């Protein structure tokens, strides 16, 4: 009985907030209460939300690249892959790109909740690895004032609760250059010099670590950070990224 009362109270409070501070969909501009939760109205969410097909047999079981009917993954064949496996929440389409820009450049932090949708099935897989900690991919400190909110904030928070493991910010980005501004080849060279383990950080007992990033394009950053974590004592690294393209992936 008490739970019903609090549920009714929450709904009433949401309606009052919507009345005085209406929320608008970041995609179409429509006023909608659900935009407070996901940044999208119910219609845009229904039409545009597309979870990444992590568990399809048409995709590589390790890196989740589309196999194009072939038995060998071109992504894994073309390089040394240091992470054990990778999982992605959403297909990266134009709308996801725009929402991430709204979050990073205009400080619309409610957009970060959209980039944690579809986490349930991935949590089940992550539990099989018995991970010890979540490792966020950092940005350079020069961008902190411009980007106070990060796309992975909500994702990190939910994984922290569901897996009951700590968030350990042991990585530091030492290059001020943005990976997205680099060409394909330059991304791999830049990634090798872009990150380091913080001076006083230690990885002990050979843990399995979950690396959290917002976008996976070439995978250069995730792969190089996985190598770095393995070199410093991790047993294995599993990558979870909020978005990845299924078409036009750069190999």
The predicted model gives 109-135 an average pLDDT of 92
Could you give the CA distance from residue 58 to residue 68 in angstroms, rounded to a whole number?
A: 7
Higher pLDDT among residues 96 and 187, named by residue = 96
pLDDT tens-digit series, residues 62-91: 999 988 888 889 889 988 999 999 999 999
Cβ-based neighbour number of residue 127 at 10 Å:
11
Question: Does the global pTM surpass 0.85?
Answer: no
Give pLDDT, residue 69.
83
Give pLDDT, residue 184.
58
What is the DSSP annotation of 179-215?
GGGS-HHHHHHHHHHHEEE-TT----S--EEEEEEEE
221-152-10 Cα angle (round to 5): 170
Could you give the CA distance from residue 41 to residue 30 in angstroms, rounded to a whole number?
A: 7
Token duo for residue 243? 């978005």
Give pLDDT, residue 173.
86
Token duo for residue 79? 């390089």
* Cβ proximity of 214 and 241 under 8 Å: yes
What is the DSSP annotation of the chain?
-HHHHHHHHHHHHHHHHHHHS--B-TTT--B-TTHHHHSS-HHHHHHH--B--TT-TTB-TTT--B-TT-SS-HHHHTS---SSEEEEEEE--HHHHHHHHHHHHH--TTHHHHTTTTHHHHHHHHHHH---EEEEPPPPGGGTTT--S-TTHHHHHHHHHHHT--B---EEE---S-GGGS-HHHHHHHHHHHEEE-TT----S--EEEEEEEEESS-HHHHHHHHHHHHTT-SEEEEEEEEE-SSS---
pLDDT tens-digit series, residues 165-175: 999 999 998 86
The predicted model gives 110-139 an average pLDDT of 92
Stretch among 41-50, 96-105, 116-125 having the lowest mean pLDDT: 96-105
Could you give the CA distance from residue 219 to residue 232 in angstroms, rounded to a whole number?
A: 20
Give pLDDT, residue 163.
97
Q: Which CATH architecture has domain 50-244?
A: 3-Layer(aba) Sandwich (3.40)
Give pLDDT, residue 2.
47
Residues 6 or more apart whose Cβ sits within 8 Å of residue 105: 146, 147
Give percent of the chain with pLDDT exceeding 90.
45
* pLDDT bucket at 49, cuts 50 / 70 / 90: very high
Domain boundaries, given as residue ranges, for the chain:
12-48, 50-244
User: Is beta strand 195-197 parallel, antiparallel or unpaired with respect to 171-173?
Assistant: antiparallel
- Average pLDDT over the chain reads 82
Higher pLDDT among residues 190 and 119, named by residue = 119
* pLDDT bucket at 8, cuts 50 / 70 / 90: low
- Mean pLDDT: which of 87-96, 145-154, 185-194, 241-250 is highest? 87-96
Give pLDDT, residue 64.
93
């Amino acid at each position: 009985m008490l739970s019903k009362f609090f549920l009714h109270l929450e709904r009433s409070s949401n309606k009052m907030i919507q009345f005085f501070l209406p929320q608008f969909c970041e995609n179409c501009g429509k006023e909608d209460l659900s935009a407070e939760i996901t940044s999208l109205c119910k219609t845009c969410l229904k039409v545009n939300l597309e979870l990444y097909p992590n568990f399809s047999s048409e995709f590589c079981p390790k890196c989740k690249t589309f196999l194009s009917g072939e038995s060998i993954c071109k992504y894994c064949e073309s390089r040394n892959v240091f992470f054990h496996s990778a999982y992605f929440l959403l297909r990266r389409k134009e709308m996801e790109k725009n929402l991430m820009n709204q979050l990073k450049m205009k400080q619309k932090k409610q957009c970060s909740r959209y980039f944690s949708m579809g986490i349930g099935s991935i949590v089940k897989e992550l539990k099989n690895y018995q991970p010890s900690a979540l490792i966020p991919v950092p940005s350079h400190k020069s961008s902190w004032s411009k980007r106070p909110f990060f796309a992975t904030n909500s994702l990190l928070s939910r994984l922290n609760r569901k897996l009951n493991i700590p968030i350990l910010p042991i990585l530091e980005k030492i290059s001020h250059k943005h990976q997205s501004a680099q060409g394909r080849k330059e991304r791999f060279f830049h990634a090798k010099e872009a990150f380091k383990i913080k001076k006083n950080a230690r990885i002990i007992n050979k843990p399995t670590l979950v690396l959290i990033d917002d976008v996976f394009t070439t995978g250069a950053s995730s792969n190089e950070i996985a190598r770095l974590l393995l070199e410093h004592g991790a047993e294995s690294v599993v990558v979870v990224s909020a978005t990845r393209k299924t078409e036009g992936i750069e190999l």
